[in-house]
Structure 1
């Protein structure tokens, strides 16, 4: 009986909506947070978009339409969200400590993808790391590793960040 009702509701939503990944999917939650970081400064430029697509291809093993579907689902989930907790709680359940630290590095890569430091993007990364249970020291070390790789200056303010 329940399956009949569920199938009927899926039919009402349409085939595209029924196939769309849910916001409680860890990949969708991660991409929603990626969008939250790159959009924090009010502008998602071409470098950030390209880095986001590249990151999804390399770290999430997606290609072609898989990238587009995940980007669409993540963008929509971010747009509909009222807080970061909904996404970080999903990731915290699915990622161990090392994976959460790696995820914070990915966030820093996106924050620095446009070649500039922006305090709003940095604040969002800080907040997400906090919600994921990544301590301040690990967050700063992750930021330093990414800054060294991408050549972004940290302006010597790491001490104030811990």
Structure 2
């Protein structure tokens, strides 16, 4: 019996693991898309804002951004939670950069000049997962206005 368990464990450890397809840019795009979708409406103006943010912050061209948005939308649809996206952000940013990311989320929410309670909720949730304090959360919101 122990031989079978050892054999099983050895086989499992030797199997190639799936490569993590989520990089920083994809994680950021996914969080922006989560905010865009939070109110149940995907408006063109919000999609344009997501594109602008990714072009400016990730230094990508329009073609790369469109591919990134498509990939991020697929990952968001398949995701059970935000953990994989937030983990990537937390692993690759400082406290100040995470506050800036919360501000970027607010930019997307303000794109249609209407903050829905669901948008506010998802940004508040993401900010908590990014370990952004409430004071910095509010400062980012005010700066985005």
Give the TM-score range, shorter chain: 0.7 to 0.9
Aligned twin of 1:114: 112
Aligned twin of 2:59: 61
Q: Could you give the per-residue CA deviations for residues 47-87 of structure 1, whole angstroms, max 9, x where no partner exists? A: 10111111111111111321111111111111110001221
Aligned partners of 2:127, 2:62: CA distance in 1, in Å?
30
Give the aligned length: 129
Rg bigger for which structure? 2
Aligned partners of 2:57, 2:115: CA distance in 1, in Å?
23
Aligned partners of 2:122, 2:108: CA distance in 1, in Å?
11
**Quick check: 1:22–1:73 contact (8 Å CA) kept in 2?**
no
Aligned twin of 1:87: 85
| 1:52 has 2:45 as partner | no
Aligned twin of 1:135: 133
Aligned partners of 1:57, 1:128: CA distance in 2, in Å?
22
Aligned partners of 2:32, 2:143: CA distance in 1, in Å?
18
Aligned twin of 1:151: none
Point out where structure 1 has 5 or more consecutive residues left out of the alignment. 7-20, 148-162
**Quick check: 1:30–1:91 contact (8 Å CA) kept in 2?**
yes
| Alpha-carbon RMSD | 1.7
Structure 1 consecutive aligned stretches of length 4 or more whose deviation exceeds 6 Å: none
Aligned twin of 1:32: 30
Q: Which has the higher contact order (CA 8 A, sep 6+)?
A: 2
Return the TM-score normalized by structure 2.
0.84
Point out where structure 2 has 5 or more consecutive residues left out of the alignment. 1-14
